[in-house]
Structure 1
Amino acid sequence: MKPLTNVLLKIFAGGFFRVHAGILLFVFLAMVGIVPPQYLIGYHKSLMLAMDSSWVVTTLVFTGWFIYAVKSWHYVSGQIFASGQHFLFYSSNALSKGKQLKSWFWAQAAILLPIILYAFIAVGVGFAYHYYLLPVCVLLYLTALTYLSAVIYTRQVNRLIDGSSRSILLRLSSKWRKPYFSLYIYHLFDKRKVPYLITKALSWLIITAVFYVFADVKTDFRVAGIAILAVITTHIVLIFEERKFEENDLGFSRNLPYSRPKLFLNFISVYFFLLIPEGIWLFSRFNPLMAAELLFVALSTAMLFHCLLYWFGLNMDKYLQWVLGLFIVLFWIIMFKLLWILIPLNLSLAYLLFYNNYYKFDGEVSDKL
């Protein structure tokens, strides 16, 4: 095995499992301990067959795997810029980006090893029972997720070499007036283009998959609601980055004469601009009234995810737990045909969290998972 790959495995993959040993052990015990031992094999066989035959189950599994990948992104990203790992900026950059990508790919594959092992067993079970489409999708999804992770890490390690010159966007817009809500948008397209493009790619894949799976009931309002909920869940990285940017670079804004209602509307404007591609799709597919309602559902859900971070701070571990819990709750609200209630419910909860915690936030940032 190549020296760089060995180093990455020891530092990042090994470190990830040491930090998360407790959580992973809990998940393992939950998976093997919720049924009697004599039914354990049959239980997991049923789960695997459900994943191999049902797009709904596969989508839920993919969402869980994506959240696991997000946890790994934040752990590895935090470690890359730790003082003890600065040697990577001088040693690994001596290699071509292609070789770096390969090494990071294997490091991320090691981090995803529990998922990969379970997935391979599920794929084998699916092939044995003559299911082919979804098992192949599982393999492609894991490969894509691992490769995208490698791209993120390689780009971060090479960021200093790329220089700190301003992007074309900032040069062109240097004389434009920039409203408060637009600052994160500029930051996103200047410094965080890769996470943005990855998020939009996942968003497109989710929309395509959901409406392909439910092609026979594509006019059901619940299908669109589930798609929008999944799309907003894929934006959790961008939402977390927005709060992090606000805290690290816009901390002075708390001293500006902006009322809390105005600030709340500013953040809604941020997510409105982030969701323009999804908004265009909504208005091109549905009638204007239905599209507007779905867009407001998306904005209200994004604001709820955003305002959670004022409550417990920039702690990615807690954030992912709450997002997963809220995803399940909101999913069942949609399934019971109560989509209309999500707009006032989400906005009310979001504003309550925002109003009570905006000036109380202590500024603690924790990317450690």
Structure 2
Amino acid sequence: MESSLSRVLVKIFARGFYRVHAGLFLFVFLALVGSVEAGQLLNYHKTLMLAFITSPLMLMVVFVIWLLYSIKTWHYTAGQIFGVNQQFLFYSSTSFSKGQQLKAWMLAQGAMLMPIIAYGLTAVVVGAWHHYYLSPLVILLYLVLLIWLGGFIYTTLVNRQIDGGKQSLLLRFGTKWRKPFYSLFIYQVFDNMKVRYVITKTISYFIVTGVFLLFADVSHDVRVAGIAMLAIATAHAVLIFEERKFEETYLIFARGLPQTRLRLFAGFALVYLMLLLPEGIWLFSRFNPLLAVELLAFGLSIVLLFHSLLYWMGLNMDRYLQYVLGLFMGLFFVILYRQIAALIVINGVVAYLVFYNNYYTTFAVKAEGE
């Protein structure tokens, strides 16, 4: 019976994902194959695989690209789960045990991740053939993590509707607390988005561990910490998107309140600073206070930049992830030149200007199929 559930999920979600994103896959295929002569194709990709297997910097870039692709699958599937045509899942799939559901959803997630799984496993074989073992092992663990996270997210979403979900401790014990306007999303996170928050922090933990494992010989280089904070900020892309969706859904009235844009921007900065608190504790436990403040400010500036972009482009996840990837690549190479302090200023100024110019003119635009 478990296999029947797997077949249904793969047919509905994996096939649907490939059908909706057929144009994207065609473009990627042409970029990977059409840009290289047929006779040089195998050597080209072998060289490319060895490049990121032997270089922690390149491997980190590849991992972020895979993460953004995974976020795209999570976003698509989560949206489809709550579609009218999939309502039967809430009373049929939940007749299986949660362990069986998790396995079935992991198979569906694996089917959606098949392009990166195939490429990743090929890279593992190439690396092992050339006697590189650490990077291939990390690649395998990372792929398993992405598959498990997808299965866990979907299983939780389906069962949360059945279980009803309980009000968080923060809301139950904070009923009489004063709640500033900027803090509302914090309560939303700990009441309705606990799973996404925990997953984001889990990814952050693996990023920190992986970066300092891969760069063990230069772990005290500020660029390594800067790359880690850049990756952590990128891992928060989903939470940032959800904050904007929450704002457009429940707080649209805020544009009529007598608040300056500077105060609103400062409020958003405080919200993200609170969400980055676990990473901040780690920074102060590992680095001297001055450097820890600089790195935390750097991560916060990136998050605010991602946040402000959504006022300009609307709630379009596909386009948003493209810009996140582009900014990641650009900031990554600037970090290599030790310009973290300059990036804090540039990111902060650009984020505020984009926010200032688009806050009162933005319109929420949802991606097709959302």
Helix, strand or coil at the partner of 1:364: coil
Where does residue 3 of structure 1 map in the other structure? Answer: 4
| More off after superposition, 37-46 vs 205-214 | 205-214
Where does residue 83 of structure 2 map in the other structure? Answer: 82
Alignment of 1:1-369 (within 5 A): 2-366=3-367, 368=369
Following superposition, the deviation at residue 48 of structure 1 comes to 1.7
Partners in 1 of 2:3 and 2:244 — Cα distance? 38
1:48-90 CA-to-partner distances (Å, cap 9, x unmatched) read 2223333222221111111000000010011111111111111
* Unpaired runs of at least 5, structure 1: none
Q: 1:143 to 1:275 in 2, by over 3 A?
A: same
Letter in 1 for 2:336: M
| More off after superposition, 163-172 vs 63-72 | 163-172
Following superposition, the deviation at residue 8 of structure 1 comes to 0.8
RMSD (CA atoms)? 1.4
The answer to whether the 8 Å contact 1:74/1:367 transfers is: no
Q: 1:164 to 1:125 in 2, by over 3 A?
A: closer
The answer to whether the 8 Å contact 1:315/1:368 transfers is: no
Partners in 2 of 1:145 and 1:115 — Cα distance? 11
The answer to whether the 8 Å contact 1:13/1:110 transfers is: yes
Helix, strand or coil at the partner of 2:279: helix
Partners in 2 of 1:211 and 1:78 — Cα distance? 35
| More off after superposition, 165-174 vs 144-153 | 165-174
Following superposition, the deviation at residue 23 of structure 1 comes to 0.4
Partners in 2 of 1:53 and 1:337 — Cα distance? 22
1:83-118 CA-to-partner distances (Å, cap 9, x unmatched) read 111111111111111111111111111101111111
Partners in 1 of 2:225 and 2:368 — Cα distance? 33
Following superposition, the deviation at residue 214 of structure 1 comes to 2.2
| More off after superposition, 234-243 vs 211-220 | 211-220
The answer to whether the 8 Å contact 1:316/1:368 transfers is: no
Partners in 2 of 1:215 and 1:143 — Cα distance? 23
Following superposition, the deviation at residue 218 of structure 1 comes to 2.5
Q: How many residues align?
A: 369
| More off after superposition, 203-212 vs 24-33 | 203-212
The answer to whether the 8 Å contact 1:105/1:147 transfers is: yes
Following superposition, the deviation at residue 44 of structure 1 comes to 0.6
The answer to whether the 8 Å contact 1:89/1:158 transfers is: yes
Following superposition, the deviation at residue 219 of structure 1 comes to 2.7
Following superposition, the deviation at residue 270 of structure 1 comes to 0.5
Helix, strand or coil at the partner of 2:177: coil
Following superposition, the deviation at residue 368 of structure 1 comes to 4.2
Q: Which runs of 4+ in 1 moved over 4 A?
A: none
Q: 1:327 to 1:367 in 2, by over 3 A?
A: farther
The answer to whether the 8 Å contact 1:240/1:306 transfers is: yes
Letter in 1 for 2:281: I
Letter in 2 for 1:32: V
Partners in 2 of 1:157 and 1:230 — Cα distance? 29
Partners in 2 of 1:215 and 1:121 — Cα distance? 26
The answer to whether the 8 Å contact 1:199/1:234 transfers is: yes
1:301-351 CA-to-partner distances (Å, cap 9, x unmatched) read 110000000001010001000011111111111112221111111111111
Sequence identity percentage: 57
Partners in 2 of 1:219 and 1:129 — Cα distance? 29
Partners in 1 of 2:273 and 2:296 — Cα distance? 9
